[in-house]
Amino acid sequence: MHIQLNDAEARVIGCLIEKSIVTPDQYPMTLNALTNACNQKSSRDPVMSLTQGEVQHAIRELEGKHLVQTDENFKSRVEKYAQRFCNTRYSNLQFSDAELAIVCLLFLRGPQTPGEFRSRSGRLHSFEDNTEVVQALNGLADRDPDPLVVKLPRTPGRKDSEFMHLFSGPVDVEAHVSQVREHRPAGSGERHSVTQLAERISQLEAEVAAINEKLGRGG
């Protein structure tokens, strides 16, 4: 796989995919709208504070990789941006709706368990159950010629293993597990019921943010 994304580039691609599905009437996106989407405080992990200059730099880098397309309205001179990363006639990557939702969530929220993918997918895709999530993850992990996601070892406080994308290069699994254990020690109180509640709150926050954006309050 030749695609190599840094954190800002992955966030930009994730936001473009998300908004193309959730708010298609506001897609392609302006620089201001895309910056706001990258810096959302809900449905993002980690929360970023990218400047418009940093977002524009990421866009230019992605254009050079043929992963973003810029459209300019010559009357208003406003540039708008659309992704060419996947599911377009310009891309070799073609995903099912379930796979697309997972890739989008990985770009926006990092490593997640099947249950988290299902609870957080919202309007991206409606998963019937965790089995459907796992089937989509396995399809991405077994993708020919290169896997696109990797299953991580289960860490303390987690009911299931997390999955992580490989669009930013190979994953140092041992380093990741060590880092997680440092920040999430065993017995930290992440019980299943609490996790479900947090996921539901996060999903509701995302839906409210999408409604506000549609009403023009998101910039």
Direct distance between the N- and C-terminal alpha carbons of the chain, in angstroms, rounded to an integer: 36
Q: Residues of the chain with pLDDT > 70: what percent?
A: 81
Average pLDDT over residues 7-34: 98
What pLDDT is stored for residue 33 in this prediction? 98
What pLDDT is stored for residue 77 in this prediction? 83
Question: Domains in the chain, please, with CATH?
Answer: 7-91 (1.10.10.10), 97-206 (1.10.10.10)
Q: Residues of the chain with pLDDT > 90: what percent?
A: 71
Mean pLDDT, the chain, as a whole number?
88
Closest CA to 188 of 199, 180, 196, 177: 180
pLDDT digits (tens, 9 = 90+) for 135-167: 999 999 999 999 999 999 998 888 899 999 999
- pLDDT band, residue 190 (cuts 50/70/90): very low
The pair of three-digit structure tokens given for residue 4, joined into one six-digit string: 């190599």
Residue 48 to residue 81: CA distance in whole angstroms? 20
CB burial readout 140-170, b (16+ within 10 A) else e: beebeeeebbbbbeebebbeeebbbbbbeee
Average pLDDT over residues 57-71: 97
Residue 161 to residue 116: CA distance in whole angstroms? 11
Closest CA to 13 of 86, 112, 92, 94: 86
Q: 9 in helix, strand or coil?
A: helix
pTM as predicted:
0.82
Residue 142 to residues 22, 84, 111: CA-CA distances in angstroms?
Answer: 28, 23, 18
pLDDT digits (tens, 9 = 90+) for 69-125: 999 877 778 999 999 999 999 899 999 999 999 999 999 999 999 999 999 999 999
Least trusted range by pLDDT, from 17-31, 59-73, 202-216: 202-216
With beta carbons less than 8 A apart as the criterion, state whether 202 and 120 touch: yes
- pLDDT band, residue 184 (cuts 50/70/90): low
